[in-house]
Chains A and B, each alone.
Chain A
């Protein structure tokens, strides 16, 4: 065994393919670690000067002190709204597609979801601005249609295909024999779907939702166009009709003017780090759920 390993290693070391392949793997590794590394290094000045006060501060503008809480709140609020609005429709269509559709229409739904997920964020932004924001303004009788609610609704549309298609995969992964057992006990298809397949696919569905919310957190341009751009926590805090600001929309608005240096830039990088950590934890949690589903 040991010699076999050694042999294959020395064979590897002489092969140009090995070197080409491991060089590109190394580049990928550096890219991944470098992304996190740069964010951390560039935000050191902020956390060493303000500590956790950066996260809890509510005022963004000072030349020496920045507070990120309104943006963090905006990101969490819009992502929460997005999952709330998207979940019933995503889950409903996933159940219908996985449990009731024959192969061909099922593939059509999957393809539609893939296209929908591919629609550029900026096109959603344009739609949100010209249609959704007007609609929200008229329906809820607001002065301005740009609000946390509008951003949440738009994000719901944007994460719908991700949540739908991953939930559908999770439902399909439930072995057929469980359904057959349920049918043989006289359960109808609807009951089987909701009382057998859905509970068994629950980890995968949780994973789908986590990944979807992670995507919602990172969306920039579409949110920028409809969120209103006000760095303030609404009063009262649950007033989602108020304009707000999410972390990416803040970054998109201000990065260009602070490019490269100064405390303002470091504050933006720290904001980027917070965003990355939020999105990363959601996505890792999501993938953990998905693998649990697969091994179940």
Chain B
């Protein structure tokens, strides 16, 4: 009886982990044949049936860098605000956390709708609208990871600063930020990974399917790997579309996993001398 249950539990765990292997190998088996030097460096032709995914990859990178550039300072600042300036106001602190949780739970397509309304009013369907929308979307991801890092910093570090006569600002600048650098970087990479994997939020805020190269002005649309795959997937039957979609999916998956690995690697370096 005990043995049987144990075997079953192990099987479930293997299924769960096996899913990762399955997803990876499916992407590699189907995507690898599409990938060669031309595929990675050429622009797409004939509605994605021929050519490559150069500008799509570039578009994804532009969007996630833009989102991080906008979102990082806000995430960092609001994380510091929550952990350092709301210490004496636990109620406010809790409300702020609930607000961030609420933002985190919002379905990504909702960010797309509202992002179109707010940022789209200023820039139209453009890479900038997409970057702002993604910035709001990854804000809670980055923020909560940073809050975790700041809260994990032993109180003695702050007390040491205070005993030297440092104000809150100086403590943040000279103690928190350097000590929690890895924590903030973890948050940044988790946010980037989330932005890179997102399709719905940029589907009608940032991208058009074909004929886009490098966006030159704030109101130019971009084209991304995610939306490229999506459009090709809807073509459905054409085997060339399917092959190119899988090729793009493999590139996207690699990008996301590299970002995730970076986050995990940095997080593993995150520890302080014991506070005791």
Residues of A within 8 A of B (CB): 5, 8, 11-12, 15-18, 20-25, 27-29, 31-36, 38-39, 42, 88-93, 95-97, 100, 108-109, 111-116, 118-127, 129-131, 157, 160-161, 164, 188-191, 194, 214, 217-221, 225, 248, 251-252, 255-256, 259-260, 268-269, 272, 275-276, 279-280, 282-284, 287
| Pairs of residues from A and B, 8 with the lowest C-beta to C-beta distance, nearest first | A24-B77, A218-B107, A92-B12, A17-B169, A120-B197, A283-B105, A220-B200, A25-B81
B88 at the interface (CB under 8 A from A): yes
Partner of A119 from B15, B23, B82, B204 at Cβ < 8 Å: B23
Asked if residues A39 and B114 are in contact (CB atoms below 8 Å), the reply is yes
Asked if residues B88 and A121 are in contact (CB atoms below 8 Å), the reply is no
Which residues from A are CB-within-8-Å of B196? 120
Asked if residues B204 and A276 are in contact (CB atoms below 8 Å), the reply is no
Least Cβ distance of A206 to chain B in Å?
Answer: 16
Binds A, one of B47-55, B214-222, B227-235: B227-235
Partner of B16 from A31, A89, A114, A275 at Cβ < 8 Å: A89
By CB atoms of chain B within 10 A, which of A36, A38, A115, A131 has the most? A115
A73 to B225, CA, bound (A): 32
B5 at the interface (CB under 8 A from A): yes
Least Cβ distance of B19 to chain A in Å?
Answer: 6
Asked if residues B233 and A15 are in contact (CB atoms below 8 Å), the reply is no
A164 to B23, CA, bound (A): 17
Partner of B81 from A21, A38, A194, A284 at Cβ < 8 Å: A21
Asked if residues A96 and B9 are in contact (CB atoms below 8 Å), the reply is yes
Partner of B77 from A21, A32, A118, A190 at Cβ < 8 Å: A21
Q: Count chain B residues whose beta carbon lies closer than 8 angstroms to a beta carbon of A.
A: 87
Partner of A24 from B12, B81, B113, B117 at Cβ < 8 Å: B81
Asked if residues A225 and B27 are in contact (CB atoms below 8 Å), the reply is no
Asked if residues A248 and B103 are in contact (CB atoms below 8 Å), the reply is no
B188 at the interface (CB under 8 A from A): no
A39 to B264, CA, bound (A): 35
Q: Given A120-B197, A126-B246, A115 and B104 touching (CB < 8 A)?
A: no
A92 to B8, CA, bound (A): 8
Interface residues of B in 150-200 (CB under 8 A from A): 167-170, 172-173, 193-194, 196-200
Partner of A127 from B26, B114, B198 at Cβ < 8 Å: B26
Q: A93-B15, A116-B20, A252-B203 provided; 15 other pairs, C-beta below 8 A?
A: A24-B81, A31-B74, A31-B136, A35-B111, A92-B9, A114-B264, A120-B199, A122-B252, A123-B197, A161-B16, A252-B200, A260-B116, A272-B114, A275-B107, A279-B105
Interface residues of B in 5-38 (CB under 8 A from A): 5-6, 8-13, 15-17, 19-20, 23, 26-27, 30
Partner of B226 from A11, A32, A42, A122 at Cβ < 8 Å: A122
Least Cβ distance of A151 to chain B in Å?
Answer: 15
Least Cβ distance of A79 to chain B in Å?
Answer: 11
Least Cβ distance of A7 to chain B in Å?
Answer: 10
Asked if residues A248 and B109 are in contact (CB atoms below 8 Å), the reply is yes
24 pairs, CB–CB < 8 Å, chain A vs chain B = A17-B173, A21-B85, A22-B81, A24-B78, A27-B74, A28-B99, A29-B96, A29-B99, A35-B110, A35-B111, A92-B8, A92-B11, A93-B12, A93-B16, A96-B6, A109-B16, A116-B19, A120-B249, A252-B200, A256-B204, A259-B116, A269-B113, A272-B113, A282-B105
Asked if residues A190 and B6 are in contact (CB atoms below 8 Å), the reply is yes
Asked if residues B169 and A18 are in contact (CB atoms below 8 Å), the reply is yes
Asked if residues B252 and A123 are in contact (CB atoms below 8 Å), the reply is yes
B68 at the interface (CB under 8 A from A): no
Least Cβ distance of A87 to chain B in Å?
Answer: 11
Closest to A42 in B: B117
Q: Given A24-B74, A112-B16, A114-B264, A272 and B110 touching (CB < 8 A)?
A: yes
A187 to B4, CA, bound (A): 16
Least Cβ distance of B65 to chain A in Å?
Answer: 17
B276 at the interface (CB under 8 A from A): no
Least Cβ distance of B136 to chain A in Å?
Answer: 5
Least Cβ distance of A242 to chain B in Å?
Answer: 20
B62 at the interface (CB under 8 A from A): no
Which residues from A are CB-within-8-Å of B23? 116, 119, 123-124, 127
B40 at the interface (CB under 8 A from A): no
Q: Mark B86-118, 1 if CB is under 8 A from A, else 0.
A: 001000000010111111111111111110111
A39 to B107, CA, bound (A): 12
Q: Mark B222-265, 1 if CB is under 8 A from A, else 0.
A: 00001001100110100000100110010011001100100010
Which residues from B are CB-within-8-Å of A220? 107-109, 199-200, 203
Asked if residues B233 and A125 are in contact (CB atoms below 8 Å), the reply is yes
Asked if residues A280 and B102 are in contact (CB atoms below 8 Å), the reply is yes
A22 to B2, CA, bound (A): 56
Which residues from B are CB-within-8-Å of A23? 77
Asked if residues A25 and B105 are in contact (CB atoms below 8 Å), the reply is no
Which residues from A are CB-within-8-Å of B108? 218, 220
Q: Given A23-B77, A109-B13, A221-B199, A284 and B26 touching (CB < 8 A)?
A: no
